[in-house]
Chain A
Amino acid sequence: MKLKRIRIEQLRQFQHPLMVDNLQPGINVFTGPNESGKSTIASAIRAAFFERHRSSSVSDLQPWGDSSATPQVTLEFDWQDRHWRLEKRFLGRKRCDLEIAGVHYSGDDAEEQLADLLGFQHPARGASKAEHWGIPGLLWIEQGAGHELRPAVEHAADHLQSALGAGLGEVTSSGGDEIIQAVATQKAVFLTATGKPRGEFAKLPVQIAQQREELVGLETRIANYRQEVDRLSELRKQHAMDAREKPWQMLRQQQQAAEKALADVETLQQAQAVDQQALQSCQNTLILLREQLEAFQRQQQTLLQRQSAAQHAKQTLQALNEGNADINAEHQRAEKSYRQACHIAQQARQQEQAGRLLQELERLSRERVALDDRLEKAYRVQAELLEQRRALPCRRIDEPILDKLRKQHKQRDDLGIRLQSVATRLQYDILPDQAVELDGQALTMQGETLLLESGEMMIPGVGRLRIIPGGEDIGELSRRHRQLEEALKALFEQLEITSLAEAEQRMEVYQRLHIEIQANERLLSSLAPEGIDLLSQACESCKQQCETFSAQCRNSTVLAEEAPSLVDAEAQRTAAEQALKMAEKRQSDHQLALNGARRDAVNNDAELQRLQAELSAPDRQQRERELSQQLVEQRAEHASLEQRIANRQQRINAAQPVLLQQDVQRFARSAEQLEKAVHDRELALTELHSRLEAHSAEGLEEQRTECLLVCEQLERRYAEMQRRMAALSLLHTLLKEKRQALTQRLQAPLQRHLNHYLALLFPQASLSVDENLIPAQLTRTQTFGVEHGGLEALSFGAREQMGLISRLAYADLLREAGRPTLIILDDALVHSDAQRLEQMKRILFDAAERHQVLLFSCHPEDWCDLGVAPRDMQALKAAVNSPNLSITT
């Protein structure tokens, strides 16, 4: 399709007709500033095709403020070697005329021709919208819409599908998806989305398994039932045989024979038992008899023993009586010697006492002498002490006072010396008749006086001389001297002495006496530590004691003979006491033995007499003889019995009663066993029969048949379902596979064209296409590796570039399918950088080799290298204003 000429009149800013002529088959660039009318040309082309001429909703096509205008577009183009001329007027004088190679269509007919040609739809009413635009909507890119691809492709989908399908010589399925959906729905009855059985299809295997299990159970029971029926018939057969043959009767006869033999033996055994009892009683009698005879003999022996015992007792008694006197004498001797020993011991004690008194007396005497001596000494010392104490100065001078005295004395002496040395020395040598008085005292002769203070010298006739000592503070010295003098004097008075020497002497006397007193005091205290009075008392008491003891000594009887020592005497006394005690014991023992012997003698005599009486009883002999006779008889009886028992035992042993007993038991038990077996069998028969009756009433086989019936029906249904499911699965898989294959076949050419353009932009990149033929995934080889991404993730500029590439690819595809292609780019690629724009221009140039392209741009400098001269809108409009001028390039 080659657009040749566009004429626009009364349409938006083109109040006056605008004619665009000589359009090239390849690229055509229109440039101009904003609002110069580029987009109006694009809109006019759209309106000419899309809007119905009768539409009243296209008033936006009218120039501003001119509601009476009739927007008019005339297009002329070639398609398939035919010339098409379309003239469309809106609103005012609505009209549509289409002339195809001389054939004229008008109105709706014309519009349908156009829609078929380009592949779009007219709106049922109102203005045409994007969803009606079909293929032109895809190829005619509006301002700022270059990046939005998906809606445009979707709106063109049907046209693309049919156009491309036809191009490929294929027919896409008009209802394939519906069929797939229907198959999926039917399949979903059997399987869940994840392929698991569901609903009845899932339950059936379980039900079948249950039914099969029940069937097996029933079959087992039937098999049991049949076995039992067989057993019943077997039992009946046996029972009948038993009833006929009665095998237990034979055994019963054998049992009876054994019982008879056993009874015979038992008779013998009873007789044997009687004899054995007789033998036993015979033996007992014998024992009794022997015991009685033995008793008689024992009595005789006892008598003899008694007699000898009596004899013995008498002898003992006699012996004891004889020893009686000795024992008593011995006792008396012991008593006597004990008394003696006691007396001697008494004496020894007295002697001991006296000795001790004497010794004490001696000691006291010695003590008394010592005490007296000490007392005497003590009195002497005491007297001495008294003397000394008297001699001791009444006024004692202590050492410190003496020291003080000495010190003051010395000070006074020192002061005196100093006074003398410093005092105004008044040496005088008075003429004898002359009297000179000093302070009232007459100075005579030669002399020297020391003036310690001012003095007035009266020299008669002369007057008075006042001498005042100067120099050092003699006054002071003299004052102190006087003070000391006074203090000294006071001390002397106090001490009642007159001089220091006296004090010294007194001190010495005192000290000497003091030492002597101390010595004597110590002596005294050693002599009489508790004082003289006590000492004298002690002397007195000692003296009294001495007197007392000496009196005692004198009083104590002088013993005739010398007594032995107390220790020896005590020992002798103890020995005597011991001896006495032994003698006493012997005496009492003897008495006891004597009494015992006497009693024994009496008892023995009594017993002896009793025995003698018994033995000499008259019937005793008689009785003993009888017993002996009986003994002989019983022995004979015993022997005969033994013989008889032995004989009979032989017979019994020969008959073997134990074996006979066992035989009886054996036969009896065997018979019982058989009888019991028969009985049991009868019971079992009855029991089995009733059980079988019960079981047969259950109708097991009928149940089994019914169960099998259900089982088979379930299995058949399951098989049918499986079969249907298999068919559905197969169909579903196949439908999807084929659909996929077809989609891929359809996509292949588009893919090829896409990759052709893409290689110019991104070498080694590829763009995948989804099943709606929309480019979806871009794969690029970058420096760091392969990059995948959806188109939506790309930048605005890149998306616009991809959008253009895709549209060019669709255009190639449509062209191959023999469909008209016209590409209109209104202000495209404004977001591309210089480098990309270069590449995109190469792409556009390449596409323009096959398609007519109308490109509108406000950047003429960008598009000057496309090999065509851009048409300037201003120039076009200028041509409008001078309508005679035809615009050419």
Chain B
Amino acid sequence: MRLLHTADWQIGRQYGRFAPEDALALAEARFSAVERLARLATEQAVAAVLVAGDVFDAQTVSDRTVRRLFNAMQGFSGPWILIPGNHDAALAESVWHRAKRLGAIPTHVEVLLEPGVYAFPQSGIAVLAAPLTQRQTSADLTAWFDNAESPEGLLRLGLAHGSVQGQLADDIDSPNPIAAERAARARLDYLALGDWHGLKRIDERTWYSGTPEQERFKNNGAGQALIVDFEQSGQPPRVTAHQVGEFQWRQWQETLGVDSDIDRLIERLEALPAPAVLALNLAGDTDLAGHQRLIQALAEAEARHRSVQYDLSALRLQPTDADVAALDADGYLGDVIDELRAQQSLHDDEASRDALVLLAGLLRERLPQAASSAEESALGMGTLEREDNA
């Protein structure tokens, strides 16, 4: 007896921090993640797929988005058992009502909009569903599980969306609380939870599956789904994580000091499995030659990965005499380089750093062995931006 546990699909989410084509691809990836989940469910021959809330990112997504989601679920013939989360709560009017009106919900998809015990005898399970009917609630919606009766002979499964108290970091939304020992108290065989986007085990019968497609730079196991195996009655299930997400989101902080630091960074870049979404924050110092190598490597990485965003604002450019000599910056151009270098180290000034790079580029162009123009464009209108965690 095997189940697939997933949550937090956040269909309809968009990514403003990325370039338009990247943002589009990442939004698309949320649909393809559902397709991959369906494939996984089929492969694993699960009895049912439990989706623990936040299927949609918002109530008022377009009709097309609604239809596309349910189309993406065709790959597994069900049953899919869904509850609303805080993003798509079953309000008086909600995305679910609309989906019903549109006739978009296929028969093998069960959306549980009201709290209650739902029996799926063919799958051998009874689902105690605690859907959110408000955007936020301060009551534990799973409290009634404790005293709820479920049909004999069916696995007693809890399906809820919220934060398990005392288990998650304080910065997570604390509304929609769920008691940590709910599974035990309500005699549940398994409690499938959503809301926390990372993969998290609360106890042997209580798990957060995390979102199947990563959408934050957080290394918390997002991008997976859980296969829950009930091998022996009464025993805790065997829970295994399966990679579903298409894109790995990586955020690197590096401080460059010597040339070999750049070599190491370039090696890491080359080793990063594609396609990834990378945010790179660099600090420290480099000379013009090192900077040029770095830009080169970043340009190559950009071509290989979904998105490479880098912030070099904390990276000071320290042209060496050799740099200047190589650029053949005679006369007052040398003065300008010196001035920019001085300003940069004095004020940690972004403009002087950029100006220095610009000037270096222009000088390099003049050299008979003209350097590649990649760096110039990378510096010019490239994705020079300071990253901030979403």
Q: Which A residues are within 8 Å of any B CB, using their own CB? A: 170-176, 178-179, 182-183, 186, 222, 225, 228-230, 232-233, 236, 689, 692-693, 695-706, 708-709, 711-713, 716, 719-721, 723-724, 726-731, 734-735, 738-739, 741-742
* Chain B contacts for A229, CB-based, 8 A: 59, 91-94
| A-contact 0/1 string along B327-360, CB 8 Å cutoff | 0111111111001100000000011101101110
Question: In the complex, which of the residues A179, A689, A720 contacts B385, with contact meaning CB atoms closer than 8 Å?
Answer: A720
* Chain A contacts for B334, CB-based, 8 A: 171, 173
Minimum distance in angstroms from A774 CB to a CB of chain B: 20
Q: Which B residues are within 8 Å of any A CB, using their own CB? A: 12-17, 19-20, 23, 57-63, 65, 91-95, 97-98, 101, 328-336, 339-340, 350-352, 354-355, 357-359, 362-363, 366, 380-382, 384-385
Q: In the complex the two chains form, is A713's CB within 8 Å of B93's CB?
A: no
Question: In the complex, which of the residues A716, A724, A729 contacts B380, with contact meaning CB atoms closer than 8 Å?
Answer: A724
Question: In the complex, which of the residues A228, A712, A726, A742 contacts B16, with contact meaning CB atoms closer than 8 Å?
Answer: A712
Q: In the complex the two chains form, is B350's CB within 8 Å of A708's CB?
A: no
Interface CB pairs A-B, < 8 A, 28: A174-B331, A179-B362, A179-B363, A183-B359, A229-B59, A229-B93, A233-B92, A236-B92, A689-B93, A699-B61, A702-B58, A702-B62, A705-B13, A713-B23, A716-B385, A720-B381, A723-B384, A724-B381, A726-B351, A727-B355, A728-B355, A730-B351, A730-B355, A731-B355, A734-B340, A734-B355, A735-B332, A738-B339
- Taking A716-B17, A742-B332 as given, write out 17 further A-B residue pairs in contact, using a Cβ cutoff of 8 Å, ordered by the A residue number: A170-B331, A172-B330, A173-B333, A174-B328, A176-B333, A178-B366, A232-B92, A697-B98, A702-B12, A702-B65, A705-B14, A711-B16, A720-B385, A723-B351, A724-B380, A731-B336, A741-B332
Assembly CA distance A742 to B65 (angstroms): 65
Q: In the complex the two chains form, is B351's CB within 8 Å of A699's CB?
A: no
Assembly CA distance A724 to B93 (angstroms): 48
Nearest-CB residue, chain A, relative to B354: A727
In the complex, the 6 A-B pairs of residues with the closest C-beta atoms, listed nearest first = A173-B331, A727-B354, A699-B62, A712-B16, A701-B58, A233-B92
Minimum distance in angstroms from A613 CB to a CB of chain B: 104
Q: In the complex the two chains form, is B16's CB within 8 Å of A699's CB?
A: no
* Chain B contacts for A228, CB-based, 8 A: 93
Minimum distance in angstroms from B160 CB to a CB of chain A: 21
Assembly CA distance A754 to B366 (angstroms): 37
Q: In the complex the two chains form, is B359's CB within 8 Å of A172's CB?
A: no
Minimum distance in angstroms from A259 CB to a CB of chain B: 40
Q: In the complex the two chains form, is B330's CB within 8 Å of A728's CB?
A: no
Nearest-CB residue, chain B, relative to A228: B93
Assembly CA distance A716 to B92 (angstroms): 38
Minimum distance in angstroms from B389 CB to a CB of chain A: 15
Given contacts A701-B61, A723-B354, A724-B380, contact A179 B333 (CB under 8 A): yes
Assembly CA distance A711 to B23 (angstroms): 13
Assembly CA distance A16 to B20 (angstroms): 90
Given contacts A179-B363, A182-B362, A713-B20, contact A734 B62 (CB under 8 A): no
Q: In the complex the two chains form, is B336's CB within 8 Å of A225's CB?
A: no
Assembly CA distance A735 to B62 (angstroms): 54
* Chain B contacts for A173, CB-based, 8 A: 329-334
Q: In the complex the two chains form, is B93's CB within 8 Å of A692's CB?
A: yes
Assembly CA distance A705 to B60 (angstroms): 11
Q: In the complex the two chains form, is B362's CB within 8 Å of A183's CB?
A: yes
Assembly CA distance A693 to B99 (angstroms): 11
Q: In the complex the two chains form, is A702's CB within 8 Å of B16's CB?
A: no
Q: In the complex the two chains form, is B350's CB within 8 Å of A741's CB?
A: no
Assembly CA distance A665 to B261 (angstroms): 92
Assembly CA distance A729 to B58 (angstroms): 44
Minimum distance in angstroms from B30 CB to a CB of chain A: 12
Assembly CA distance A222 to B57 (angstroms): 14
Interface of A is mostly: helix
Given contacts A176-B331, A699-B61, A724-B381, contact A713 B363 (CB under 8 A): no
* Chain A contacts for B363, CB-based, 8 A: 179
Q: In the complex the two chains form, is A183's CB within 8 Å of B93's CB?
A: no
Minimum distance in angstroms from B367 CB to a CB of chain A: 10
Nearest-CB residue, chain B, relative to A698: B60
Q: In the complex the two chains form, is B16's CB within 8 Å of A709's CB?
A: yes
Assembly CA distance A516 to B57 (angstroms): 171
Q: In the complex the two chains form, is B358's CB within 8 Å of A183's CB?
A: yes
Minimum distance in angstroms from A70 CB to a CB of chain B: 46
Minimum distance in angstroms from A516 CB to a CB of chain B: 164
Assembly CA distance A174 to B4 (angstroms): 71
Nearest-CB residue, chain B, relative to A222: B60
Q: In the complex the two chains form, is B19's CB within 8 Å of A713's CB?
A: yes
Assembly CA distance A696 to B65 (angstroms): 12
Question: In the complex, which of the residues A225, A697, A709 contacts B14, with contact meaning CB atoms closer than 8 Å?
Answer: A709
Assembly CA distance A59 to B8 (angstroms): 98
Q: Which residue of B330, B331, B340, B380 has the most chain A CB atoms within 10 A of its CB atom?
A: B331
Nearest-CB residue, chain A, relative to B135: A226
Nearest-CB residue, chain A, relative to B363: A179
Assembly CA distance A719 to B382 (angstroms): 12
Q: In the complex the two chains form, is B93's CB within 8 Å of A701's CB?
A: no
* Chain A contacts for B59, CB-based, 8 A: 229, 696, 701
Q: In the complex the two chains form, is A700's CB within 8 Å of B92's CB?
A: no
* Chain B contacts for A730, CB-based, 8 A: 340, 351-352, 354-355
Assembly CA distance A174 to B332 (angstroms): 9
Q: In the complex the two chains form, is B58's CB within 8 Å of A705's CB?
A: yes
Q: In the complex the two chains form, is B332's CB within 8 Å of A176's CB?
A: yes
Nearest-CB residue, chain A, relative to B313: A723
Assembly CA distance A285 to B93 (angstroms): 80
* Chain A contacts for B380, CB-based, 8 A: 724
* Chain A contacts for B340, CB-based, 8 A: 730-731, 734
Q: Which residue of A171, A705, A716 has the most chain B CB atoms within 10 A of its CB atom?
A: A705
Q: In the complex the two chains form, is B331's CB within 8 Å of A702's CB?
A: no
* Chain B contacts for A693, CB-based, 8 A: 93, 97-98, 101
Assembly CA distance A186 to B359 (angstroms): 12
* Chain B contacts for A699, CB-based, 8 A: 60-63, 65
Minimum distance in angstroms from B363 CB to a CB of chain A: 7
Assembly CA distance A709 to B14 (angstroms): 7
* Chain A contacts for B92, CB-based, 8 A: 229-230, 232-233, 236, 692
Minimum distance in angstroms from A188 CB to a CB of chain B: 15
Assembly CA distance A738 to B362 (angstroms): 17
* Chain A contacts for B362, CB-based, 8 A: 179, 182-183
Assembly CA distance A716 to B380 (angstroms): 13
Assembly CA distance A723 to B59 (angstroms): 38
Minimum distance in angstroms from A689 CB to a CB of chain B: 7
Q: In the complex the two chains form, is B98's CB within 8 Å of A705's CB?
A: no
Nearest-CB residue, chain B, relative to A691: B93
Question: In the complex, which of the residues A178, A225, A734 contacts B60, with contact meaning CB atoms closer than 8 Å?
Answer: A225
Q: In the complex the two chains form, is B60's CB within 8 Å of A724's CB?
A: no
Minimum distance in angstroms from A522 CB to a CB of chain B: 154
Q: In the complex the two chains form, is A174's CB within 8 Å of B330's CB?
A: yes
Minimum distance in angstroms from B59 CB to a CB of chain A: 6
Q: In the complex the two chains form, is B16's CB within 8 Å of A713's CB?
A: yes
* Chain B contacts for A709, CB-based, 8 A: 14-16, 20, 23
Minimum distance in angstroms from A846 CB to a CB of chain B: 33
Minimum distance in angstroms from A744 CB to a CB of chain B: 11
* Chain B contacts for A741, CB-based, 8 A: 332, 335
* Chain A contacts for B17, CB-based, 8 A: 712, 716
Assembly CA distance A739 to B335 (angstroms): 9
Minimum distance in angstroms from A787 CB to a CB of chain B: 34
Minimum distance in angstroms from B52 CB to a CB of chain A: 21
Question: In the complex, which of the residues A176, A232, A696 contacts B98, with contact meaning CB atoms closer than 8 Å?
Answer: A696
Question: In the complex, which of the residues A696, A698, A724 contacts B354, with contact meaning CB atoms closer than 8 Å?
Answer: A724
* Chain A contacts for B16, CB-based, 8 A: 708-709, 711-713
Nearest-CB residue, chain B, relative to A233: B92
Q: Which residue of A228, A693, A716, A721 has the most chain B CB atoms within 10 A of its CB atom?
A: A716
Assembly CA distance A672 to B191 (angstroms): 52
Assembly CA distance A731 to B382 (angstroms): 19
Assembly CA distance A702 to B15 (angstroms): 12
* Chain A contacts for B65, CB-based, 8 A: 699, 702
Question: In the complex, which of the residues A172, A186, A233 contacts B331, with contact meaning CB atoms closer than 8 Å?
Answer: A172
Nearest-CB residue, chain B, relative to A740: B332
